[in-house]
Amino acid sequence: MKDLEVNNKRVLVRVDVNVPFNDQGEISDHSRIDATLPTIRDLQSRGAKVILMSHRGRPKGKPNPDMSLATVAKAIGERLDAEVAFVVDCVGKEAQDAITQLQPGNVLLLENLRFHAGEEAGDEDFAASLAELGDVYINDAFGTAHRAHASTAVIAKHFPNARAFGLCMQSEIDSVDQVLNSNKTPTIAIVGGAKVSSKITILKNLMPNVDHIIIGGGMAYTFVKAKGGKVGNSLVEEDYLDLARDILKTAEEQNVKIHLPIDSVNADAFSETAKTNVTAIDEIPDGFMGLDIGPKSISHFNNVLSFAKTILWNGPLGVFEMAPFAAGTQKVGESVAQSTENGAFSLVGGGDSVAAVKQFNLADRVSYVSTGGGAMLEYLEGKELPGIAAIRN
Ligand code: AMP
């Protein structure tokens, strides 16, 4: 983006300001706005006329006042300390007229792209109407980079010589690439979360690029059962036992060390007030389910992480949303922070691990927290994301 000439040009920027709102209709988390501010500021300072476009929620192709971006325009303005104009439709005469009024350095936000069915359908005509609004196209929306929508992918071909990643998107891509192609080793992946089925492709894709994989969360119990352990009523995906064994075998062949939990915090119900006990991971009694890694696992994982030079963390190590089962995720998160302070590069990405680092106030102590849940997962799975391909190809 820094190499593009933008002075006095209409710069169309796809951002992801799909921020969450509380019951009072106030924005409850500004992270997505903040993530894109550096891009907006850079363009402003170089004399661009900045036209922001985004989606919000799932209005299914029709205007819906509950999903308007009007309040978001105001919030962006407050954070930029500048007025952000707002247009009630993202294409057509009204948008074109408003853009004509823009002076270099001005910022404008268009109404929710998904009020038009053409956005999610990746419609060529809708993409062309959007493209008419700008001279330069910037994609700064990593969170939707895995979607082949009009504004995220289809539009790019209208700007063969004037398109680029925004600064937020660029750093998302750089940080995953830094993990996947790191020469700062050992590289350690921590993979947790509920199910093996949703992480199996990631595990396979990571294998050639990492030295160690720490497995925790609900998915660990499928591995433990696959190795012949007793896991009581823990979450197990019976259909994945063979695949789990395959992963363990491939890891051995590729010289990747897999670390499973040693012990488990178990409960007699999926509840904060359940009766609990701690046992070896492969000796969980019937009637109990493993909901967190135990203290021996924490100390083993911490030890492994203390040698890390590159860390990828995806997925919590237990049911961290409930206090009695939060320690594993919190303590391992603190180890990631500690290793980062000792010079390791750490990337936290994909859904719930991001929520966990925020809950335990670790976001500022890791190298990079990804804004893109699904997009990050697909990137880690090795897929080519349409939003990235459209800029590069
Ligand atoms: P995922 O979206 O696959 O990363 O899964 C995240 C969810 O996994 C979180 O909501 C956790 O509460 C849940 N989880 C973590 N550990 C366990 C476990 N041992 N049993 C059941 N669910 C778990």
pLDDT digits over 127-158, tens only?
A: 999 999 999 999 999 999 999 999 999 999 99
Number of domains in the chain: 2
Residue nearest to atom 17 of ligand 1 (CA): 218
Name the percent of the chain in helix, strand, coil, to the closest 5: 40, 20, 40
Q: How far is the CA of 175 from the centre of ligand 1 (A)?
A: 25
- Examine the domain organization and report whether 161 and 181 are in the same domain: no
Q: Which of 32, 199, 309, 331 is catalytic?
A: 32
Q: How far is the CA of 18 from the centre of ligand 1 (A)?
A: 24
Residue nearest to atom 6 of ligand 1 (CA): 193
Question: Which phi and psi angles does 188 have, rounded to 5°?
Answer: -125, 125
- Collapsing DSSP to helix, strand or coil, 145 comes out as coil
Alpha-carbon span 203 to 377, nearest angstrom: 11
* Closest ligand 1 atom to 350 CA: 4
Helix 31-45 with 167-180: angle, nearest 10 deg: 120
- Examine the domain organization and report whether 161 and 245 are in the same domain: no
What average pLDDT score do residues 317-341 get? 98
Q: What is the mean pLDDT of the chain?
A: 96
pLDDT at 223 over 70: yes
Residues 45 and 98: beta-carbon distance below 8 Å: no
Residues 11 and 139: beta-carbon distance below 8 Å: no
- Examine the domain organization and report whether 143 and 183 are in the same domain: no
Q: Which of 157, 374, 382, 383 is catalytic?
A: 374
Residue nearest to atom 4 of ligand 1 (CA): 193
Alpha-carbon span 19 to 7, nearest angstrom: 29
Q: How far is the CA of 34 from the centre of ligand 1 (A)?
A: 28
Q: Which of the listed residues 137, 165, 193 is the one where a domain comes to its end?
A: 165
- Examine the domain organization and report whether 189 and 337 are in the same domain: yes
Q: How far is the CA of 194 from the centre of ligand 1 (A)?
A: 3
Residues paired with 137 in a beta bridge: 12, 163
- Examine the domain organization and report whether 128 and 217 are in the same domain: no
What percent of the chain has a predicted confidence (pLDDT) above 90? 92
* Closest ligand 1 atom to 192 CA: 4
Q: How far is the CA of 265 from the centre of ligand 1 (A)?
A: 14
Which of 340, 332, 335 is closest to 294 using CA atoms? 332
- Examine the domain organization and report whether 190 and 274 are in the same domain: yes
If residue 289 lies in a helix (H) or strand (E), which one and from where to where? strand 289-293
pLDDT at 390 over 90: yes
- Collapsing DSSP to helix, strand or coil, 296 comes out as helix
**pTM greater than 0.75 (yes/no):** yes
From 214, 263, 291, mutation site for ligand 1 pocket: most ligand atoms within 8 A of C-beta = 291
Question: Which residues have CB under 8 Å from 29's CB, separation 6+?
Answer: 19, 20
Q: Which of the listed residues 145, 165, 185 is the one where a domain comes to its end?
A: 165
32 a catalytic residue: yes
374 a catalytic residue: yes
From 197, 264, 291, 319, mutation site for ligand 1 pocket: most ligand atoms within 8 A of C-beta = 319
Q: Hunting for tokens 């947790």 — which residue is that?
A: 192
- Examine the domain organization and report whether 216 and 299 are in the same domain: yes
Q: How confident is the model at residue 351 (pLDDT cuts 50, 70, 90)?
A: low
231 within some domain: yes
If residue 136 lies in a helix (H) or strand (E), which one and from where to where? strand 136-139
- Examine the domain organization and report whether 298 and 265 are in the same domain: yes
Residues with CB under 6 A from ligand 1: 193-195, 198, 217-218, 235, 290-291, 315-316, 318-319, 321, 351-352
Pair of tokens at residue 300: 């083993």
Pair of tokens at residue 307: 């040698």
If residue 213 lies in a helix (H) or strand (E), which one and from where to where? strand 212-215
pLDDT at 339 over 80: yes
pLDDT at 304: 98
386 within some domain: no
Question: Which phi and psi angles does 288 have, rounded to 5°?
Answer: -120, 145
pLDDT at 182: 86
Residues 5 and 35: beta-carbon distance below 8 Å: no
For residue 297, give the CATH number of its domain: 3.40.50.1260
Whether the upstream peptide bond of residue 104 has omega within 30° of 0, thus cis, is no
225 a catalytic residue: no
Residue nearest to atom 18 of ligand 1 (CA): 218
387 within some domain: no
111 within some domain: yes
Whether the upstream peptide bond of residue 316 has omega within 30° of 0, thus cis, is no
pLDDT at 331 over 90: yes
Residues 66 and 60: beta-carbon distance below 8 Å: no
Q: How far is the CA of 192 from the centre of ligand 1 (A)?
A: 7
Residue 183: give the domain boundaries: 173-380
